[in-house]
Amino acid sequence: MKVDAPVAYLWRHYRENLRKCSLEPLVGDTRFVFSVWRSGISIEATGCIVLEIDAPVLTRSDAGSPFVLLDSTWRYLTKMRASVVGDCIPRSLPASLGTAYPRTAKLSENPARGLASIEALYAALRIVGARDDALLASYHWGAEFLHTCDQEGL
């Protein structure tokens, strides 16, 4: 399958544990471009949708713009988000959408609306009309999250 432009640019914090990273099974998929973020790196996001909690809700009319997804623990996310430059399109996922991932934070709080990165990517693509259930195939809680999305009417 030939892809003209990436569907998403996936920026991982350099301290992200790859053994626990829900996006790791997507490495090698030509729809996604993976990059490692470190302090001092700017993320150019002009024309891209950046998912964040308090932005307008993503809709099907947002289809066609690539996503920039920041993959990090909540502790480091604010600093990563501050490094995003350019005229991006901030969007959020529906507030009622909950994670299937059994989270436990020792050093910071997890926001109630926070999702695992694979969940956020899957839900965003599904909302814009690019549903791909195979994205959840390697995700341990994939079936549960798929059920949640179905219940939410995504």
The pLDDT of residue 32 is above 90? yes
Who's near 81: CB < 8 A, 6+ residues apart?
50, 52, 70
Q: How far apart are CA 96 and CA 94, in angstroms?
A: 5
Domains of the chain, by residue range, sit at: 8-152
**Encoding tokens for residue 61?**
């009319």
Phi, psi dihedral angles at 39 (to 5 degrees): -55, 135
**Which DSSP category does 129 fall into?**
T
**What per-residue confidence (pLDDT) applies to 1?**
40
Give the pLDDT confidence of 45-103 residue by residue, as tens digits: 999 999 988 899 999 999 999 999 998 887 888 899 999 999 999 999 998 887 876 65
Angstrom distance (rounded) from CA 18 to CA 58: 28
pTM of the model: 0.87
